[in-house]
Structure 1
Amino acid sequence: MMNVSLSFCQPSTLCTSKRQLLPSTSTPTPTPILFSFSHSHKKRRRFVTCASSLELPLLPFPIDQVLVPSETKTLHLYEARYLALLEESLFKKKKFFVHFVLDPIAINDTSGEASFAARYGCLVAIEKVEQLEIGALVSIRGIGRVKILKFQQAKPYLTGAVIPLLDNIPHSDTELSSEVLKIKEALRSLNSLEIKLKAPQEALLQTLTANSLRWSENTPALDCDNSFIPPLAELVSFAALQPVSGSSESELLKLQKKKLRAMDIKDTLDRLEDSIGYVQDNISLVAAKLAIQSLDSRL
C-alpha cells in the first residue's frame, strides 16, 4: 500500500497531490447482509443545543461526490486503511464517520502539487455492511453538515475534530411549515411519475427522493449528540436533491451544482424554495419523458 504524505496548512485544509486518498465508490453485486442499522423512531426537536466537538474518522472524496443530509450512498471499501476506518467507525465510534470533499484551491508553482480545501463535511451513519470476497459494501446515510475544526491524525486514515453546522437564520413555524408541505407534495408527485417511468409493472418501487423524504420525516434514533441532527425543515430541504430516473450527464451535473449550493446555504427557507423549484423542474422533465415513452409504445 502506498504511503500518503500530508502537510496540514490550516484548519479544514490539507495539501497533497495524492489522489490515493480517495476511496473507490464502485458498486459490485451485493452479497447477503451481515449488519443492519435499526430504525426506531424519536420525537422531533424544535430547538438545537450547543454541542461539543466529536473526534471521528474522516473519509475524503472528489468535489463531484458531495453528500447531503438524508442522502444514501454505497461505498466499496477494500484498501486496508479504509477497512480499518470501517472497523473503527463500527465498533468505537457508534457507526459514524465524516464524509467530506477535497476541493482544489491552488497549485504550488515550485512543486507542482495541488492544494485542497476540506469542505462540505457531512456526518454519516452506517446503515448496513455487506461482506464481499474483496472488501465490503458499506451503505451510508447523510445525517447533517459538520465543520472540520482540525485534523488529529493522518495514518492509517484521517481523523479530525468536528462540530455541527446548522442553519442559523430563524423563521416562524408557519413560514417553514408551508414550504415543507409544498416540497412534500411536489416530491410525492415526482415519485408517482418516476415509478411509471422506471417500471410501470412495479407500483411499490420506491425512488431515491421518496426514500430521503421518508427518512427525514421519521429520522431513527441515533446514538449521537442531538445537536448534530438537523431539524425537520432543514432535512426536508435536502431531500429533493437526488437523481431522478434516467438522468443524463448534464442533468446530473446540474444536480451536483444544486447540492454544492445547498450545502453552502445557511437559510432553511432559501434552501426549501430552491429545492421546490428544482423538484418542479424535474416533474416537468419526467412528464416529458413519460409522454415520449407513451408515443414510442404506440409505434
Structure 2
Amino acid sequence: MTCTVVNLNLNLSNTFFSTPPRLLLLSRTWNRNPIRLNFFGNPQKRRSFNANVSSSELPLLPFDVNQVLVPSESKTLHLYEARYLALLEESLFRKKKVFVHFVLDPIVVNDSSAEATFAATCGCLVFIENVERLDVGALVSIRGIGRVKIVKFVQADPYLKGVVVPMQDNVPDSVGKISSKVMEVKEALYSLNSLEIKLKAPKEALLQTQITNSLMWAEKEPSLDCFEAFVPSLAERVSFAALQPVSGSTQSELLRLQNGKLRAMDVKDTLQRLDDSLVLVKDNTSMVAARLAIQSLEVQ
C-alpha cells in the first residue's frame, strides 16, 4: 500500500506554543457579542458527550485545515522536527501506538492587533501502522480510527498533549435501515474500485485502491485494547470509507472531497453520512466511467 507523504512543517503562532495550555486557550470572547467557540463545530452548536465515557491523555499532532483526516483513512507523515519525533516516541512506547491528529483552524478576527487564535477541530484518534527510520526523521504510516473531542490541554512543550474523549454518532432508530444502507454503500464502493483499477493513471498518481483499502479496514473490528471505547460502529466506519480521492481527480474535485470530509466529521447521524457518501461514490463512478470511455477512444 502506498500513501501520500506529508511533510509536516506547520508555521504556527509562537504564542500558541508558549502560552500555558488550558481548556480556554482556543476560546475567545468579543466585546460586541460574547461567543464561546467549542472545539468541534460552529459557535453555539455544541456536541454532547457522556461525562462518564472513557477519556485518555494523549499526544496531539496539529495540522492545517487542508489536512483533515477521517476514520478509516491512511496516510504517511514525514516527521523530522525534534518535537514531533519526541511525540512519536511517546506514542510508540507509552501510548499503545496511538495519538490524536487534529486541525488547527485559524479564527478570523477584525482586529489587526489581536493575537493569532485557533480553533481545535476535526480530532481523529490514529494508530501507527508502520515506522520507517530515515537519516532525517521518520516516515510514519497512520490509520484514522475514530473521532475525538479535546476537553483539556495538559502540555505544550515540547509537543502538545491533552485529554480526549471519544465522539461517535447517535444511536440510530432503525437498525435495519442502517444495515441496508451500509450494504448499498459497500456495493457502490466495490463497483467504483472495479472501474478505477482499469484507469491508466500516471506514475505519480495516488494508488487506485485507497477506497478499497479503507473499506477493508472498516469491515474489520479494530483491536485497540484499552482504546476500544474510541472505535466507532461498523456502520459509522463504513460511512467514512468513501471519503478518499480517486485517480485523476482535479483540483476542484479534491476541494469538494475536502469539504465533504469537514462535513462528515461534524455529522452525528450515521444514515445522513451514508447518504452523503453514496452521492459522492455515484458521482465518482460517473467520472471514472467517463475517463475510461475517453481512454478507449484514444486507444482506437
Q: Is the 8 A contact 1:7 1:14 kept in 2?
A: no
- Alpha-carbon distance, 1:109 to partner: 2.0
For residues 266-281 of structure 1, the aligned pairs below 5 Å read 266-281=268-283
Q: Would you say 1:87 and 2:105 are equivalent positions?
A: no
CA distance in 2, matches of 1:12, 1:294: 56
Give the match for residue 127 of structure 1: 129
Matched to 1:5, the amino acid is: S
Q: Distance in 2 between matches of 1:246 and 1:5?
A: 42
Task: Report if the CA contact (8 A) 2:21-2:156 is conserved.
Answer: no
1:166 is paired with a residue of what secondary structure? coil
Distance, in Å, in 2 between the alignment partners of 1:92 and 1:10 is 24
Q: Is the 8 A contact 1:14 1:118 kept in 2?
A: no
CA distance in 1 between partners of 2:108 and 2:292 (Å):
45
Partner SS state of residue 191, structure 1:
helix
Which residue does the alignment assign to 2:172? 170
Kindly tell me: are residues 87 and 278 of structure 1, through their superposed partners in 2, closer, same or farther at Cα, counting changes over 3 Å?
same
Letter in 1 for 2:89: E
Q: Residues 49 and 276 from structure 1, CA distance in 2 versus in 1: closer, same or farther, beyond 3 angstroms?
A: farther
Q: 1:88 to 1:291 in 2, by over 3 A?
A: same
Aligned residue pair count: 261
Question: Once superposed, which parts of structure 1, at least 4 consecutive aligned residues long, lie more than 3 Å away?
Answer: 6-12
Give the letter aligned to residue 19 of structure 2.
L
Q: What per-residue deviation string (whole Å, max 9, x for no partner) do you get for residues 110-155 of structure 1?
A: 5353311001100000000011110000000000000000100100
Give secondary structure in 2 for the equivalent of 1:224: helix
Change (3 A) 1:196 1:110: closer
Do 2:54 and 2:229's aligned partners in 1 also have CA atoms closer than 8 Å? no
Give the drift of 1:294: 1.0
Distance 1:198 1:173 in 2: 40
Partner of 2:18: 5
Unaligned stretches of 5+ residues in structure 1? 16-47, 200-204
1:265 counterpart residue number: 267
- Aligned match for 2:244, one of 231, 235, 242: 242
Measured after TM superposition, the shift of residue 218 of structure 1 is 1.3
Instruction: Report if aligned partners of 1:59, 1:97 keep a CA contact under 8 Å in 2.
Output: yes
Change in CA separation of 1:282 and 1:88 when aligned onto 2, cut-off 3 Å: same
Residue 73 of structure 2 corresponds to which residue in structure 1?
71
What amino acid sits opposite 1:173 in the alignment? Answer: V
Instruction: Give the residue type in structure 1 aligned to 2:276.
Output: D
Where do 5+ consecutive residues of structure 2 fail to align? 1-10, 29-49, 202-206
Q: Secondary structure at the match of 2:119?
A: strand
User: Deviations 1:11-37 (Å, cap 9, x if unpaired)?
Assistant: 47279xxxxxxxxxxxxxxxxxxxxxx
Q: Do the aligned residues in 2 keep the contact of 1:71 with 1:141 (CA within 8 Å)?
A: yes
Superposition pairs of residues 111-260 of structure 1, within 5 angstroms: 111-198=113-200, 207-260=209-262
Q: Among 59, 62, 68, which residue is 2:61 paired with?
A: 59
Q: What is the CA-CA distance between 1:296 and the residue it aligns to?
A: 1.2
Relative to structure 1, is the Cα distance of residues 8 and 106 closer, same or farther in structure 2, using a 3 angstrom cutoff?
farther
CA distance in 1, matches of 2:59, 2:244: 25
8 A Cα contact 1:12 1:148, kept in partner: no
Which whole-Å deviations, capped at 9, do the CAs of 1:152-209 have from their partners, x for residues lacking one?
010000000000000014232211110000000000000001100146xxxxx86100
Describe the shift of the 1:142–1:162 C-alpha distance in structure 2 as closer, same or farther (beyond 3 A): same
Check the 8 A contact 1:79/1:135 in 2, yes or no.
yes
Given that 1:12 and 1:119 are in contact with CA atoms closer than 8 Å, whether structure 2 keeps it comes out as no
Structure 1 residue matching 2:152: 3-state secondary structure: strand
The answer for the alignment partner of 1:37 in structure 2 is none
Contact kept, 8 Å, 2:97 with 2:127, in 1: the verdict is: yes
- Please say if residues 72 and 139 of structure 1, whose CA atoms lie closer than 8 Å, have aligned partners that are also in contact: yes
**Are the structure 2 counterparts of residues 177 and 289 from structure 1 closer, same or farther at C-alpha, using a change threshold of 3 Å?**
same
Letter in 1 for 2:262: L
